[in-house]
Amino acid sequence: MKLNPQFSLFLSLFLIVLSTPLCDSQPPESSPTLARELDAVLQDYAFRAFVHPKTGITYDGSVPSNLTGIQIAALRLRSGSFRKRGVTRYKEFQVPPGVIIQPYVERIVLVYHNLGNWSSFYYPLPGFTYLAPVLGLLAYDASNLSATDVPELDFVASDSPLLIKFTNLSPVSGAVMAQCVWFDLDGVPEFRDLVSRNTCSTYRRGHFSIVVNSTEILSPPGPGVFPSEHKKSSRVWKIVGGVIGGFVVLVLVALLVVWISRCKRSRKVAEMERRAEVGEALQMARVGDTQAPVALGIRTQPRLEDEYVA
């Protein structure tokens, strides 16, 4: 089928409109950046906890006053012994033997974060409720303990995973499905099953917590439980957006239908005109002595049989 360019343009515009999401419910783009800025600040403050650091001893750090509520710690280790023995207990983390640091450095610092009441500020997760604070475990090169903006080292558990045993989970009523959530440095959440009631596992660095679907603990909404103004207005905007979007699609569909039917009609008219012309020509055609009605589309002139005889 050959489409005229106007129609093709219209069709592609129509498809683009159809495939564009009407309302965007993604969290704001700035949140991973905020979390990454926090990682850098906490690296700096965790390293400051080392005054005369001993290898293998956990040092609790202190955070600037505008981050009160966050706990940090730092632990310096030789890469070789870290890989061979792991770390039996580092706050909530248990690191098994066989964890490989990439790229290789001689000594590492394991920095621990407990984001406390800042968890959902730095790792917002719409639709979910945190049952535990977000905990982080990141590795850095220990070669310069006064350095800032140190890049994180990657690590991967080659044998069994690291375990994270959360303490003091928020109690929730009813049977709700809790899940582990893992954020890599890009801030994108991934959900996993719990290992046990309060334990998550990981093969990689990052930030971890336990969450439940908010709708499961909020329902049924009792009297006096109203969504916040912000939520209410965002819901209103979603509805308004949906209505406007739906209307636009409706108008486009209507336009498309009108266009197609007009296109068909004009094609039909053209066809009728063509037929009319051909019909007139046929009426003129004489076959022998008789004027024969001739069907459209027959190219060869009809002849009477006796012409052959004659």
Chain positions contacting ligand NAG, by CB under 6 A: 64, 66-69, 117-118, 121, 127, 144, 146-148, 213, 215
Closer CB to ligand NAG, 227 or 293, in the complex: 227
**Residue 64: CB minimum distance to ligand NAG, A:** 5
SS3 101: strand
Closer CB to ligand NAG, 189 or 245, in the complex: 189
Q: What is the rounded distance in angstroms from the CA atom of residue 151 to the CA atom of residue 101?
A: 13
Amino acid in position 109: V
**Residue 210: CB minimum distance to ligand NAG, A:** 15
**Residue 218: CB minimum distance to ligand NAG, A:** 10
Closer CB to ligand NAG, 191 or 247, in the complex: 191
Contact of 228 with 197, CB cutoff 8 Å: no
Q: Which residue is nearest to ligand NAG (CB)?
A: 127
**Which distant-in-sequence residues (6+ apart) come within 8 Å of 24 by Cβ?**
none
**Residue 216: CB minimum distance to ligand NAG, A:** 6
**Which distant-in-sequence residues (6+ apart) come within 8 Å of 180 by Cβ?**
191, 192, 193, 194, 195, 200, 201, 208, 209, 210, 211
Contact of 96 with 162, CB cutoff 8 Å: yes
**Residue 32: CB minimum distance to ligand NAG, A:** 15
**Residue 16: CB minimum distance to ligand NAG, A:** 27
Closer CB to ligand NAG, 126 or 302, in the complex: 126
Q: What is the rounded distance in angstroms from the CA atom of residue 115 to the CA atom of residue 123?
A: 9
Closer CB to ligand NAG, 88 or 168, in the complex: 168
Closer CB to ligand NAG, 160 or 213, in the complex: 213
Q: What is the rounded distance in angstroms from the CA atom of residue 170 to the CA atom of residue 101?
A: 34
